[in-house]
Amino acid sequence: MAQKILLKNINVPGINTFEVYRQYGGYAAVEKALKTMSADDVVEEVKKSGLRGRGGAGFPTGMKWSFLAKPEGVPRYLVCNADESEPGTFKDRYLMTHTPHTLIEGMIVSSFALGANTSYIYVRGEMMPQIRILEKAIAEAKNAGFLGKNILGTGYDLEIYVQPGGGAYICGEETALLESLEGKRGNPRIKPPFPAIAGLYGCPTVVNNVESIAAVSWIVNNGGDEYAKIGIGRSTGTKLISASGNINKPGVYEIELGLSVEEFIYSDEYCGGIANGKRLKAVVAGGSSVPILPANLILKLSNGQPRLMSYESLAEGGFATGTMLGSGGFIVMDEDACIVRNTWNFSRFYHHESCGQCSPCREGTGWMEKVLHRIEYGHGKMSDIDLLVDVSKKIEGNTICPLGDAAAWPVASAIRHFRDEFEWHVNNPQAAMDGNYGLANYADPIPVVEEAN
Amino acid sequence: MLAVKEIKFSAEALKKVDEIVARYPEGRQKSALLPLLHLAQAEFGWCSTEVMDYVASLLNINPIEVYEVASFYTMYHLKPSGKYVLEVCRTGPCCLVGAEKILSILERKLGVKEGEVTPDGLFSFKGVECLAACGYGPVLQIGPEYTFYENLTEESVDELLTQLKNKN
Ligand SMILES: Cc1cc2nc3c(=O)[nH]c(=O)nc-3n(C[C@H](O)[C@H](O)[C@H](O)COP(=O)(O)O)c2cc1C
Ligand code: SF4
Ligand code: FES
């Protein structure tokens, strides 16, 4: 059995309450950190652990923390990003619903490490039930002396507040989130300055994903070196994967990084194979923003080796044959899924969610949506396919925040790997309305490229 | 004509307002705007201009600062809607498992188009973007409590509609 860190006790009845969570060893990390370690010691352990941000970008958490400015007399903030809106991603909701104290404990230890005395958890507004769950968990922890003034008699003060969003994907982007937390529209800020220098209310701020913060308690308890032993290479530790689409067992799974993609999809411990006896056509491995891969490329690298669930292995081959781990939103499509329709759907999403500040993103996403709609609905021209590639290139890299790239990549990658299916739509407008190109050759073995060394 | 209900929070809600404003540093009370708009919408049903002006007065900010925020976010209703707004996720992963079918079932059963209100004022429905429940699709949520209904089928939608109708 693979090691579990975040979801180890998920099936224990009552683990959502302080009492049971504590019985199972909860809040030991708070005692250890506050009573026996300095803030810098905690940062050091997190650095050693190799933990990388679980919100999507994979930036090393310890390094991010060490960039935090510490001017005299200025408050510092930790803001937890619980905006979770990337299509395909639902792990943070799962963790907060079933084991909220795992997040609260991580928040306390992380706030201590950063020297924050007020911290916020920004939860997407639609998660009202989770907001209530977190508020209850905070009240319980406070009651037991783990929050508030002079925690455990150590002299450290901390308040944690839960902030609801208003419904906007863009508020998951960290500077849009900070704007929103200040009571404004969620328009991303131009960087620099980075939040580590000027974040919430202009003060030094760290923004971290729910899962990153939740992992810190285990690292404090067991040491960064122990954490780094789990996983593979620079992909240390465990990762929550949200598995959805045409599989037998959709849900949230905690994996040790380095598991093979094939095992993740087909073994009964995880997805349990493709539903209804169908065959695998494509996977979007890290949330809607990352490039889609056909079955043959997601299962194997170009040298014929199995592809693994790790930052490096998923990215192997660059955008030509690879993708990204992203937020771990693993969307599986079977032979009946229509790639054109799905691509249109995603581009509609990005158009809807663009904040409108930059013209390449605002106009380009609308344009891509329109062209994809016409291909899907039988009015496409062959030249539309190259037009889409062209628009996606004009957005990529030309915007204030990465939403532009996130909108461009799914379209560019779908055309790169499934051009046949787009052409089939143009050539067979009638059939394309309610059918699709099927599995075609997308699961066929690919020629193995010999490595140079 | 019904008398226009005076726009003022109950004593209980006002206590909650104070509690929320106290979460932020001195002078940063504008941070309370999103939470207060949720509170106001739950209390008054939707965010009319009067409601938004009231929220502005509570926070001591300009009304325009409230309008521009309320219109940016999708959760704030700027016009009256059905008592129950059924929000169905229509994003990719849910569509792989039949979300579009659920939307057309709702259109057929309620006899209204997306965004319209049924004649009895009870229901409206709309397609919304990913609700972070993609493994349990198709899903819908109903405000203001944001109760979730997962793994929807024609039968479970039927059951839900009957159940909600019987409550009224
Ligand atoms: C458009 C967009 C949406 C994002 N949505 C989320 C999100 O919902 N949750 C999240 O944790 N990070 C999200 N991110 C990434 C954040 O900007 C930020 O990198 C992250 O919260 C940092 O935390 P981490 O280092 O722990 O991953 C998003 C980024 C972009 C550009
Ligand atoms: S890239 Fe898009 S979402 Fe990001 S700031 Fe520009 S317009 Fe807004
Ligand atoms: S796609 Fe429907 S909840 Fe995510």
| pLDDT value of residue A451 | 60
CB pairs under 8 A between A and B: 146
Q: What is the dihedral of CA A360, A201, A54, A282, to 10 degrees?
A: -20
Confidence bin at B1 (pLDDT 50/70/90)? very low
A342 contacts in chain B (CB < 8 Å): 92, 95-96
Both tokens of residue A365?
Answer: 């996403």
**10 Å Cβ neighbour count for B113?**
10
| pLDDT value of residue A434 | 77
B146 contacts in chain A (CB < 8 Å): 126-129
Burial of A427: CB neighbours in 10 Å, binned 0-12, 13-18, 19+: exposed
Superfamily name with CATH number, domain A18-228: NADH-ubiquinone oxidoreductase 51kDa subunit (3.40.50.11540)
Scanning A308-347 for CB atoms below 8 A from B yields 329, 331, 333, 337, 341-342, 345-346
Q: Where in chain A is the domain with CATH 1.20.1440.230?
A: 339-437
Closest-CA residue of chain A to B59: A183
Q: For residues A314 and A330, give the distance between their C-alpha atoms in angstroms, rounded to a whole number.
A: 12
Burial of B15: CB neighbours in 10 Å, binned 0-12, 13-18, 19+: exposed
Burial of B40: CB neighbours in 10 Å, binned 0-12, 13-18, 19+: buried
Q: For residues A321 and A315, give the distance between their C-alpha atoms in angstroms, rounded to a whole number.
A: 8
* Cβ contact B34–A183 (<8 Å): yes
What is this structure's pTM?
0.96
Q: Give this complex's ipTM.
A: 0.96
Domain architecture of chain B: domains with CATH = 11-72 (1.10.10.1590), 84-166 (3.40.30.10)
Mean pLDDT by 10 residues, chain A (453 residues): 92 98 98 98 98 96 98 97 98 98 98 98 97 98 98 98 97 98 98 97 98 98 98 98 98 98 98 97 97 97 95 96 97 97 98 97 97 96 98 96 97 97 95 86 84 54
**Fold that domain A239-334 belongs to in CATH:** Ubiquitin-like (UB roll) (3.10.20)
Question: Minimal CA–CA distance to A70: which of A132, A116, A103, A108?
Answer: A116
Residue A356 CA: nearest ligand 2 atom is 7
Q: Where in chain A is the domain with CATH 3.40.50.11540?
A: 18-228
Tens digits of residue pLDDT in A21-68 = 999 999 999 999 999 999 999 999 999 999 999 999 999 999 999 999
Tens digits of residue pLDDT in B122-162 = 999 999 999 999 999 999 999 888 999 999 999 999 999 99
* Cβ contact A168–B130 (<8 Å): no
Confidence bin at B37 (pLDDT 50/70/90)? very high
| pLDDT value of residue A76 | 98
CA A300-A306-A307 angle, 5° bins? 70
| pLDDT value of residue A23 | 98
Compute the distance from residue A25 Cα to the ligand 3 centre, in Å. Answer: 34
* A85 contacts B91 by C-beta, under 8 angstroms: no
Question: Minimal CA–CA distance to A351: which of A370, A328, A379?
Answer: A370
Burial of B166: CB neighbours in 10 Å, binned 0-12, 13-18, 19+: exposed
Both tokens of residue A37?
Answer: 């370690």
- Write down how long chain B is: 168
Architecture of domain A339-437: Up-down Bundle (1.20)
CA A346-A351-A353 angle, 5° bins? 95
| pLDDT value of residue A452 | 53
Tens digits of residue pLDDT in B56-91 = 999 999 999 999 999 999 999 998 888 899 999 999
Tens digits of residue pLDDT in A219-240 = 999 999 999 999 999 999 999 9
Q: For residues A68 and A63, give the distance between their C-alpha atoms in angstroms, rounded to a whole number.
A: 9
Q: Where in chain A is the domain with CATH 3.10.20.600?
A: 239-334
**B45 min Cα distance to partner chain A (Å):** 16
| pLDDT value of residue A447 | 82
* B134 contacts A246 by C-beta, under 8 angstroms: no
